[in-house]
Amino acid sequence: MKMYEYLKSLHLIFVITWFAGLFYIVRLFVYHAEAKDKPEPEQSILIRQYQLMQYRLWYIITWPSAILASFFAFWLLFFTEIGKVWLTQPWMHVKLGFVFLLYLYHFKCHRIFVELQNNEVKHTSGFFRLWNEGATIILFAVVFLVILKNAVNWIFGVIGIILFSVLLMLGYKFYKRIREKNN
């Protein structure tokens, strides 16, 4: 049982650092896109700095965390008795579906990362702000699934975060409109 608790702790630590990396990399994408609108030499200085920050975050924190979180999850699911039981539960099937979506999100972030490293900015800062909500929705769904261990109740948590996100976006747009009006 102690081994299971160590494995679960390591899995949780790396899930947290993986999400931290995903949240921060997209914020750096926002700043990178906004730097494209700056005049020279500020633009070049900022973009070089953001590229360096993105590179370090992506390869030193985010990718290793994703790999280690998955390694410990695999170990928990296939080499512990409780993991074998969980694999028969509907909530775990839904959770693994969200983990699959998380990997799709991660791979899309990797593609964007590569584009930005090559100085190709194909999206706006607004797109990246919205894109950042994808990881948040997945996080909410997975946490509700793991805590409630119910294949249906996670929906209420996700609906709640979506509504909260909509309120935040409306608040941001309202604030932006007031700021532009005052300038």
Query: What contacts 15, CB < 8 A, 6 or more positions away?
Result: 65, 69
Q: Which amino acid, 36?
A: K
Residues 110 and 26: beta-carbon distance below 8 Å? no
For residues 28 and 35, give the distance between their C-alpha atoms in angstroms, rounded to a whole number.
10
Domain of residue 176, residue span: 2-182
pLDDT, residue 15, reads 98
User: Which structure tokens are listed for 173?
Assistant: 């747009």
Alpha-carbon Rg of the chain, whole angstroms?
A: 19
**Secondary structure class of 173 (helix, strand, coil):** helix
The answer to whether 11 is a known ligand-binding residue is yes
Sequence-distant contacts of 155-161: CB under 8 A, at least 24 apart:
161/136, 161/137
Can you say whether residue 24 is alpha, beta or left, with left for phi > 0 and alpha for psi between -120 and 50 degrees? alpha
Q: Write down the pTM of the prediction.
A: 0.85
Q: Which residue in this structure is represented by tokens 């941001």? A: 172
For residue 24, give the nearest of 136, 180, 138 by alpha carbon. 136
pLDDT, residue 119, reads 93
- Inter-CA distances, 14 with 68, 98, 109, Å: 6, 17, 18
For residue 76, give the nearest of 23, 29, 139, 14 by alpha carbon. 14
For residues 18 and 88, give the distance between their C-alpha atoms in angstroms, rounded to a whole number.
26
- Quote the crossing angle between the two packed helices 154-182 and 125-148, to the nearest 10°: 150
For residues 54 and 112, give the distance between their C-alpha atoms in angstroms, rounded to a whole number.
11
Count of domains observed in the chain: 1
pLDDT, residue 16, reads 97
The answer to whether 95 is a known ligand-binding residue is yes
Q: Which residue in this structure is represented by tokens 């294949």? A: 151
Q: What is the pLDDT along the chain (183 residues), one digit of tens a residue?
A: 688 999 999 999 999 999 999 999 999 999 999 999 999 999 999 999 999 999 999 999 999 999 999 999 999 999 888 889 999 998 899 899 999 999 999 999 999 999 999 999 999 998 998 899 889 888 988 888 888 887 677 677 678 778 887 887 788 788 778 878 887
